[in-house]
Amino acid sequence: MKTIGLLGGMSWESSLLYYKIINEGVKAKLGGLHSAKIVMVSVDFEEIEILQHKDKWEKLGEILANEAQNIERAGAECLLICTNTMHKVAHWVESAIKIPLIHIADATAKALLQDGIQKVGLLGTAFTMEQDFYKSRLQEHGLEVVVPKKQDRELIHNVIYNELCLGECKATSKEAYLEIIEKLTKEGAEGVILGCTEIGMLVKQSDTKVKLYDTTTIHTQSAVEFACSAKE
């Protein structure tokens, strides 16, 4: 089995899910007492969040690249950045290591295309919904991406940082998210990406008939496939 590298803490709430889902996936695949071989570095999200909102992305790239190198030195054979938003600095991280980076948007695009989805809605932080680093990666796979209107984007962003990253899941926020998902389908979205690793804590597939693509689940499944594949 290959060793998975996790760069987490953004937030630790979703990184906890990464660790849990990956281990459950390895156990389901290999049986017995098998569990995943994981090297993990968890950063202090307070420091990261401050730099995000100050638009200090180069500094963030340096921080994550340095931690990625620590993960590689510890024996990881692949790397996952356990957050959608921080894939904005994925090119800094990727250039700093020799092991493969499993990109969350690539893994998500693959799942969408396998289901025949062509037009998809995207929920996430304001950075993910409004900036080009994530949408363009999806578009490179031939997908059409639609995002909520400005007021709805603000609500989604605020719930992520002020509630979900603090481990709070409010019924009123779930209702608001589900209403936004419905709006995206009226704009032609055939499915909706939960493009922040915390959103799956709030909204589940059982809450809506709209096909949801939880990036945490998709990303971790890609890691399990990598870990259990034959070594070259």
Residue 132: Cβ within 10 Å count: 9
CB 165 within 8 A of CB 156: no
Which among 78, 82, 165, 196 is annotated as catalytic?
Answer: 196
Any idea what the Cα angle at residue 206 is, between residues 201 and 129, rounded to 5°? 50
What is the distance between the alpha carbons of residues 218 and 105, in angstroms, rounded to a whole number? 10
The answer to whether residue 169 is catalytic is: no
In single-letter form, the type of residue at position 136 comes to S
Which among 82, 83, 85, 197 is annotated as catalytic?
Answer: 83
How far is the CA of 106 from the CAs of 74, 110, 111, 167, in angstroms? 25, 6, 9, 27
In single-letter form, the type of residue at position 135 comes to K
Known catalytic residues are 83, 196
